[in-house]
């Protein structure tokens, strides 16, 4: 109840547990209180309502959210949502003594007899069995079957443990062709050297103008074809490739020839020759004149038609002559790709 004669000043307030004001409830800088939770709120310049004070500080504000007084040995233990106040729980062979502001943890029980064996590990033991207190010492070499190496030598620079079928051998890596190995203290450096997949002097065909690095171009052969052989490799020929396989015109002539000969003999029959007669003068009773020519009666008669027969030859002579030949050109300009020969250095 307010003192008589005074007007009480009351903040924006609530008596409902867990109720908190919103930004719409307050003006910037205005206070609000929850009298049940005993919490004081205010609205900051950004318009956000913040908890200014509380009888119990929650975990979100760095507190524990707990109000009970802890007993001897109790500690605050997280429970996923906040804290619970509890004492530690003693497990097997452990005792816990809670005091005012103190916790004492001690081991309980006694050792009666403990023996140790190396089993199949390759290790040996000494100092056992232990009945009260003592020291057990391990010695020997841990076997491969138990995760060891079975080796006792100190490795030199670059040595590694390499399986040999029955265990490990301690050795360095071996450099093969084109590889160099540098062994250091705790390091191995592998370097690739120049590769030599072809023996020096090996000749290979390349489809390019210049020989690649490590090869020398052979210029002995130029404008030549390749020939596959089953015997020894050689070279030959005298005509350039492009000359032999160019477009070739076909022309020429046939040489002069004199033909001579005879026609065989043939006997003609009477029926084969033309029909013909012969005229004859038959003298009469007259006599000869002064010039010796017959005068007086005479008559002219024809003999009967007849023909002769017999074999005969015909000679044959031929004149010398030329034959000229002209044909279509043969195109032998085949497609080709230039390659080079190069020898491995």
Q: What is the pLDDT along the chain (345 residues), one digit of tens a residue?
A: 567 778 777 888 898 988 889 988 988 888 899 888 778 888 998 999 988 777 666 777 667 767 677 889 888 888 888 778 888 888 888 888 988 878 888 877 766 777 788 788 878 888 777 776 778 887 888 888 888 888 888 899 999 989 999 888 999 999 887 788 999 998 999 888 766 678 888 888 888 999 998 889 999 888 888 887 788 888 888 888 888 888 888 777 766 766 666 666 777 777 777 777 777 766 665 555 555 565 556 667 777 777 766 666 667 666 776 777 777 778 777 777 777 778 887
pTM of the model: 0.30
Q: How far apart are CA 39 and CA 49, in angstroms?
A: 12
Q: Which pLDDT score is estimated for 291?
A: 59
Q: 71 is written with which tokens? A: 């007993």
Q: How far apart are CA 84 and CA 73, in angstroms?
A: 13
Q: 108 is written with which tokens? A: 């309980």
Q: Which pLDDT score is estimated for 179?
A: 86
For 132: left if phi > 0, alpha if psi spans -120 to 50, otherwise beta; the answer is alpha
Q: Which pLDDT score is estimated for 189?
A: 93
Say if CB 51 and CB 41 are below 8 A apart: yes
Q: Which pLDDT score is estimated for 338?
A: 76
Q: 123 is written with which tokens? A: 């290790």
Q: Which pLDDT score is estimated for 225?
A: 86
Q: How far apart are CA 298 and CA 281, in angstroms?
A: 7
């Amino acid at each position: 109840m307010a003192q008589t004669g005074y007007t009480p000043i009351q903040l924006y307030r609530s008596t409902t547990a867990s109720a908190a004001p919103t930004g719409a409830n307050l003006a910037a800088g205005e206070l609000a209180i929850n009298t049940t939770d005993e919490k004081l709120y205010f609205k900051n310049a950004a318009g956000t309502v913040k908890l200014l004070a509380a009888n119990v500080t929650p975990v979100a504000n760095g507190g524990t959210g707990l109000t009970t007084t802890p007993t001897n040995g109790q500690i605050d233990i997280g429970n996923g949502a906040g804290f619970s106040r509890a004492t530690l729980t003693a497990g097997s062979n452990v005792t816990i003594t809670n005091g005012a502001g103190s916790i004492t943890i001690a081991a309980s029980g006694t050792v009666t007899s403990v023996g140790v064996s190396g089993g199949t590990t390759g290790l040996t033991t000494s100092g056992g069995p232990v009945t009260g207190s003592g020291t057990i010492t391990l010695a020997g070499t841990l076997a491969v079957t138990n995760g060891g190496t079975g080796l006792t030598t100190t490795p030199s620079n670059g040595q590694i443990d390499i399986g040999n079928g029955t265990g490990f051998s301690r050795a360095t890596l071996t450099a093969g062709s084109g590889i160099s190995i540098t062994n250091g203290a705790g390091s191995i450096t592998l370097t690739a050297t120049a590769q030599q997949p072809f023996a020096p002097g090996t000749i290979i065909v390349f489809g390019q103008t210049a020989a690649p690095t490590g090869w020398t171009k052979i210029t002995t052969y130029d404008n030549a074809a390749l020939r596959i052989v089953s015997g020894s490799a050689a070279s030959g020929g005298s005509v350039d490739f492009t000359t032999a396989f160019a477009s070739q015109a076909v022309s020429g002539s046939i040489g002069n020839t004199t033909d001579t000969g005879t026609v065989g003999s043939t006997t003609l029959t009477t029926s084969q020759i033309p029909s013909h007669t012969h005229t004859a003068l038959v003298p009469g009773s007259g006599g000869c004149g002064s010039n010796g020519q017959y005068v007086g009666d005479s008559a002219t008669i024809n003999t009967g038609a007849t023909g002769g027969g017999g074999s005969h030859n015909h000679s044959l002579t031929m004149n010398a002559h030329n034959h000229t030949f002209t044909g279509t050109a043969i195109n032998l300009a085949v497609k080709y790709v230039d390659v080079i020969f190069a020898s491995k250095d």
